[in-house]
Structure 1
Amino acid sequence: MMSVVQECAFAFHYSAKRLEAFFDELQDDEDVKEAMDRKTKLKSLCETRWISRSDALTTFKTAFPVVVHTLEHLVTQHDDKAAIYLSSILRFDFIVGLVACEHILRLVVHLSFFLQDPKCDMLSAIEECRIVLTQLNDARNDQQVWDALFEESVSLADQFDVEPTMPRRAGRQQNRANIPAVTPSEYWRKVLFYVFIDHLVQQLEDRLLGAEQRFQAFFLLPSKIQGLTNEKVLSIFDTFKTDVVGNVETFRAEVERWKVKWQMHAVVPSSIVEVLDNTNSTLYPSISAILMVLLTMPVATATVERSFSVLKRVKTYLSSTINQERLSSLALLHIHRDVPIEIDAILNDFAAAKSRKWKFF
């Protein structure tokens, strides 16, 4: 289904004739035009960013009637590829997959946005991940959610005379899911809806909620310190024993002073950055080191990917012969553009470095 959406988006994007036909059909359909929210073309998928997948599927589902009418018009204009795309999307397995996957990805799109935030830390990511997991599990266990999605798929298919179907079962089937089901709704719920949700839940648990010992250090935060037991203190010491100062008894005593410190505060900081700013590294050297490790744990690779994207914007075709030193300097200026720059100090340094013996002015 996603491959078909990608191919259709490319077909309309790289052909002026198809794009013009799509725009004309969109102008004639006021309902779809209003639902598209000023969008005039389909969006392509991205292999690495799931945010773009959700947006692309939402746009394609919203513009589905316009896409069908446009392809039908292009078929009359002897466009052979349009006929292939039309036969691919006018299938019930495509329609039900589009509706179900768009709904599921819409539940995780806000988590994807949050994970790409430069200020996101591991603790906040884990808390938001638990919220998304709860939503996914609730949607999986709620029969009404699937019934509404299947009804939407049937309604969309009825507009183009597509019957709700399911693949026939065979005695021995190795190339597709041969799950016993009485109705198409039961079949697609087991084969598509459950499988996709279980896959996302498993990936989120493995990547963010894995039972790793380093996550036990989050109980050192004042908002979580009530759950810090002796067993967890030993686990934290064993995990960060190369970063702490002294032996286990010294670390245990430091943790006890840490508990008393935050029990005396009515309002405690919630984020790791705020806790680290209020931590004296001289009084609490081990806890300060552990908090710094927690703060530098990479939640996602969005920051590194932004650096790669900078090169595409800085080193263009017109500046292909730029040397390495200048390229690195321009990339740093572009990446850290939020850092204030004193223009007068730069001009003074430049003038001092390029001073002439003869003063002409």
Structure 2
Amino acid sequence: MSGKHRGVQARVRQIIPEAIYVHCKAHNLNLAIVHACKEPLVRNIMDTIQQISFCFNESGKRTVFFRDELAENDEVKEDMGRRAKIQTLCDTRWASRCDALYTFLTAYPVVVSSLKKLERNGDSKARSFICCISKFDFLIALVVVEHILQIIHPLSIMLQAKTFDLIEAVQEAKVVNNKRNDDVEWEELFDKATSLAAKVDEIPTIPRGAARQQHRANVPAATPKEYWKRALYYPFLDHILQELEDRLAGNEARFQPQYSIPTKLDGLTDDISRHDLTAVSFDVFHIEVTRWKSRWAIVTNQKPGTLVETLKSTNQMLYPNVYVCLAILATMPVATATAERSFSVMRRVKTYLRSTMTTDRLSSLALMHAYKHTEIDVQQVINVFADRKSRRLAFLFRQ
């Protein structure tokens, strides 16, 4: 779709050079997290947690050990809620990994005690897992990554909704920027990692450094708190912020006409994007926008609150340029999450028991499943089916 030379967006721009390709914002957020998680320490803890979750979930013996340890630890059991096992990390939806990281972080004492019992029972993998998750670099990375992903997760849910405010989503993405200068929050995270390390008799340390180092962080620091802040917290947070700025907030100016909606006119300024209306001078456009704001200022009853309602209420002859801006904005798909849900519907409908289903039947069942909340007149369906063709025997008896 987004190929530079032969993609759909490239072919469209060959016909209309002014067209702007807008990538799915939900996918952009996911890609931002994927790229930020390529930091070595973050990548290592992700791989370790995934291996441990597979180790417990794919073995009945290990699962029994984990559940027995969880049943004996009332505090961890209460914090985990209904969760009764370690969750695996999703390969596609990286924003949802915060739930799996939270589960692992909450159940950390239970995981350690379960692995120790498995080691005493001759499990060959348990010892290596204990050594990996007992180090302080693993614990501090786990606490930091889980905390930051928890901040971004609500934004991911918002971008996958059927209706959402993109301007509000962009502003929410900028909230993460305030976390970088919050020293109190970093101290809380470090204290949390320190208390977690104390449960396995581990103390905060600085990795061995060298005068010339190429393959690991070798930042100058006097204390472990200062070192991990410079070597882990700042790099990961800066990577997230840069990715969010490049991928999510990059086309913010293209969506400024959203402030033309009557209920959002307070945010309408002279800097509103005109979407390359080269045939219109700025003075003419400014006068039209001023009239548009005055037109809705005198309205006292309920005003349009969505883009579709505003388009229907706009007189194209009186406000041609505002109408064009709103129409162009309406053609910009900001997310493909709703469209991609049809793939999930087809996967649920066409199972191996329905492998011989024809295309028409599959399409009809998929529509019924996707729009299952739509009310259907059963009697009308029966009448249409009965009258579709003439039969020797009366299919439907009417009085």
Question: TM-score, length-normalised on structure 1?
Answer: 0.87
Q: Select which of 316, 319, 340 maps to 1:305.
A: 340
SS at match of 2:204: coil
Alignment of 1:65-80 (within 5 A): 65-80=109-124
2:321 & 2:367 partners in 1: Cα distance? 33
Q: 1:236 is matched with which residue?
A: 274
Q: 1:85 is matched with which residue?
A: 129
Q: 1:344 is matched with which residue?
A: 379
Q: Is the 8 A contact 1:90 1:160 kept in 2?
A: yes
Task: Report the CA distance shift for 1:304/1:190 in structure 2 as closer, same or farther (over 3 A).
Answer: farther
Shift of 1:255: 3.2
Q: Select which of 36, 58, 69 maps to 1:14.
A: 58
Which moved further from structure 2: 54-63 or 301-310?
301-310
2:264 & 2:255 partners in 1: Cα distance? 12
Q: 2:326 is matched with which residue?
A: 291
Structure 1 residues 291-350: Cα deviation after superposition (integer angstroms, max 9, x where no partner): 243244333332233222222211112112222222222222222223332222222111
Q: Select which of 192, 199, 212 maps to 1:159.
A: 199
Alignment of 1:1-361 (within 5 A): 1-129=45-173, 133-134=174-175, 136-210=176-250, 213-225=253-265, 228=268, 232=271, 235-238=273-276, 247-248=280-281, 254-266=288-300, 268-281=303-316, 283-359=318-394
Shift of 1:269: 4.7
State the one-letter code of the partner of 1:25. E
Q: 2:22 is matched with which residue?
A: none
State the one-letter code of the partner of 1:290. C
State the one-letter code of the partner of 2:138. F
Which moved further from structure 2: 102-111 or 283-292?
283-292
State the one-letter code of the partner of 2:293. K
Q: Is the 8 A contact 2:53 2:88 kept in 1?
A: yes
Q: Relative contact order (C-alpha < 8 Å, sep 6+): which is higher?
A: 2
1:54 & 1:212 partners in 2: Cα distance? 27
Alignment RMSD: 2.5
Q: Is the 8 A contact 1:122 1:295 kept in 2?
A: no
How high is the sequence identity, in percent, across the aligned residues? 47
Shift of 1:127: 3.6
Q: Is the 8 A contact 1:75 1:82 kept in 2?
A: yes
Task: Report the CA distance shift for 1:225/1:64 in structure 2 as closer, same or farther (over 3 A).
Answer: same
SS at match of 1:236: coil
Which moved further from structure 2: 277-286 or 344-353?
277-286
Task: Report the CA distance shift for 1:276/1:13 in structure 2 as closer, same or farther (over 3 A).
Answer: farther
2:243 & 2:171 partners in 1: Cα distance? 16
Q: Is the 8 A contact 2:71 2:77 kept in 1?
A: yes
Q: Is the 8 A contact 1:122 1:297 kept in 2?
A: no
State the one-letter code of the partner of 2:245. E
Matched residues, number:
350
Q: Is the 8 A contact 2:274 2:325 kept in 1?
A: no
SS at match of 1:118: coil
Q: Is the 8 A contact 1:121 1:272 kept in 2?
A: no
Which moved further from structure 2: 58-67 or 41-50?
41-50
Shift of 1:229: 5.1
Which moved further from structure 2: 293-302 or 186-195?
293-302
State the one-letter code of the partner of 1:263. A
Structure 1 residues 59-118: Cα deviation after superposition (integer angstroms, max 9, x where no partner): 110000000111111111211122222221111111111111111111111111111111
Task: Report the CA distance shift for 1:345/1:254 in structure 2 as closer, same or farther (over 3 A).
Answer: farther
State the one-letter code of the partner of 1:41. K
1:281 & 1:338 partners in 2: Cα distance? 35
Q: Is the 8 A contact 1:114 1:125 kept in 2?
A: yes
Question: TM-score, length-normalised on structure 2?
Answer: 0.80
Q: Is the 8 A contact 1:121 1:295 kept in 2?
A: no
Task: Report the CA distance shift for 1:237/1:152 in structure 2 as closer, same or farther (over 3 A).
Answer: closer
State the one-letter code of the partner of 1:202. Q
Q: 2:8 is matched with which residue?
A: none
1:330 & 1:94 partners in 2: Cα distance? 48
